[in-house]
Structure 1
Amino acid sequence: MKNLVKNNKEQYDFLFVILVYRNGKDLYDFDTSLRQHLSSYQVVVINSYMDDISNQEIESIANDLKYDFISIQNKGYGYGNNKGIRYAMEKYIYKYLIICNADIIIRSFDISKLPRSNAVIGPKITTLNGKAQNPYWAVKNKPMERMIYYGLLKQSRLRMFIAQGCNKVIRELFLMTRRKANLVSKVYGVHGAFVIFTKDVIEKLYPIYDENIFLYYEEAYLANYLQRKGIKGYYYPLIDVLHKEDGSTKGMDIDQHSLASSSFVYYYETYVLGKDK
């Protein structure tokens, strides 16, 4: 459902910005779930260009679903999402903007307690094997970040194992105290597969992402950025999504471990060790 305002911009409650690479077929499942739960929305698909064939296929899918489509150079997650957000800001009026993976299926979408301003919100996200992905980081944990950083520098699997295990324990304890009550709770960091921004946050913080981070650990950067700017993060289990995982990286000819390592080292050295902008 769309409405036109005085400046002829279409107005929606929710704008979805979906960055894809090579494969857009997951959009069909996403769209089916979207139509079941929302009425006032628009979707912007941004294709990180690989070749003409995939570009044409993804554009065809977007057109079939009546989504907006733009094709850009493949310069990574931050660059692509910033381009999509800018497009959405210029073309539409909205209440919330959602950065979303294509490989998402919406299972419930209760907005009765959704924060209306100064908020970035992460829903309940579950993978196909039942793993909970939100909150990404329930609390800011400086020792854990330090351990990840030195674990990557020294290529220490033990340090990485301890840091990841620590975060998993904190997440499970957090969820254990809130699961029955289905509580909306403040958190430090939310998972990047489905992130809801209130409009005022987009307008205040744009560009949202650091484009030097090509892929991975954008959640760490975003959590740090939001805290420095006084934006509140929330875990919001009244919205529940299934994340099929790997839809955004499937088929990519990259060294995922090396890319993830360089992303976190850049984040940590730039925003934690004081080489900030």
Structure 2
Amino acid sequence: MKNKLNVVCEILNYNDAETVFRLVDKIKDFPVFNSILIVDNDSPDNSFSKLLNRYYNNNKIVVNKTAKNGGYGYGNNYGIKYAYEKLNADYVLLANPDVSFSNEMVQKLLNEMVKKNAAIVAGTQRINGIPIRTPAWKIPTAMQWTLIETKLWKYAAKKYYYDPSLFELPDLQVECVHGAMFLLDPYKFLDVDGYDEEMFLFGEETVLGYKLKSKGYTSFLLNNVYYDHEGSTSIKKSFNSSIKQDQITHQSKLIYMKNYLHINKLELMLNKSIFNFVILKKKLKDKINATKGR
């Protein structure tokens, strides 16, 4: 299929201009893209000026900036809305700065998107050259999303994850995909109000999957099409503590349970207590390890 569609690649930056440079310099000549939109999420490290200075004379690359750092969802909602309303995008490839992919890979996503009239089409993520075990998952219940972080994770995983044999199929209709990179229909994305901006970081893909499915939109995973992910390079620069990342994740999960699943106060308290126990256990483990290291 010849690409006559307007495809925009949207990259969200926060304090990570050097990683953005590496990605953009690799993809700026990809024929599949009409434009590359870089959105700086109000970085305090002068990223916006660096990005502007680097690409000011390139008509294919647009550099923009949010008014505040409202988190991952806020920044990407801004970028996707800009791509749709200002750049007239038919489709938007949302890409983290620390991913790597080919023009051919994006074209395959685009072919599938048009064929299936999907809201989202994703490829399979690889880390260190190895495909991840769970490239997609189902919309979880409150208890499944809580227990997945405990020693009872295997019980939750039986219903939360797809059977691994399904990832051997060429393509698979799924409910949720990883947010590091996927192609989306901006009309459908904005029709469900995009990412939940109450969720600052982590867990936002699951809520997006919930919202799209609730509206009757579909998402697909291509199992034999790959992109590489450096393993949350940008996130680690901002939140290098695994405990801090867990706390943010738990906050997002509680928002999902309260605002979308509408669980009662007792259930909410129970799940919150389990999350607090998980954090306490990790803190004690870190304290013990620190004592042993003296």
TM-score by length of 1: 0.78
Residues 61 and 257 of structure 1, relative CA distance in 2, 3 Å threshold = farther
Supply the AA of the counterpart residue of 1:172. P
RMSD: 2.9
Moved more, 125-134 or 96-105: 125-134
**Alignment map for 1:1-277 (pairs within 5 Å):** 13-35=6-28, 37-63=30-56, 67-72=61-66, 73-107=68-102, 108-109=104-105, 110-111=107-108, 113-116=111-114, 117-128=117-128, 130-132=130-132, 135-137=135-137, 139-142=138-141, 145-149=142-146, 151=147, 157-160=150-153, 163=156, 167=160, 170=162, 172-175=164-167, 177-178=168-169, 183-202=170-189, 204-205=191-192, 207-237=193-223, 239-253=225-239, 255-273=244-262
Give 1:30 shift.
2.0
Residues 23 and 64 of structure 1, relative CA distance in 2, 3 Å threshold = farther
Give, in whole Å, the separation in 2 of the partners of 1:140 and 1:202: 17
8 A contact 1:44–1:84 mirrored in 2 = yes
Give, in whole Å, the separation in 1 of the partners of 2:57 and 2:29: 17
The percent of aligned pairs where both chains have the same amino acid is 20
Give, in whole Å, the separation in 1 of the partners of 2:256 and 2:237: 26
**1:26-70 residue CA offsets vs partner (Å, 9 max, x unmatched):** 223323442565343311111122325333234334547652112
Give 1:194 shift.
0.9
Query: Which structure has more helix as a fraction of its residues?
Result: 2
Supply the AA of the counterpart residue of 1:59. L
Q: Structure 2: which 5+ runs fail to align?
A: 265-294
8 A contact 2:84–2:186 mirrored in 1 = no
Residues 193 and 201 of structure 1, relative CA distance in 2, 3 Å threshold = same
Larger Rg: 2
Supply the AA of the counterpart residue of 1:195. F
Task: State the number of aligned residues.
Answer: 251
Query: Which structure has more strand as a fraction of its residues?
Result: 1
Structure with more relative contact order (C-alpha pairs < 8 Å, separation 6 or more):
1
Q: Structure 1: which 5+ runs fail to align?
A: 1-10
TM-score by length of 2: 0.74
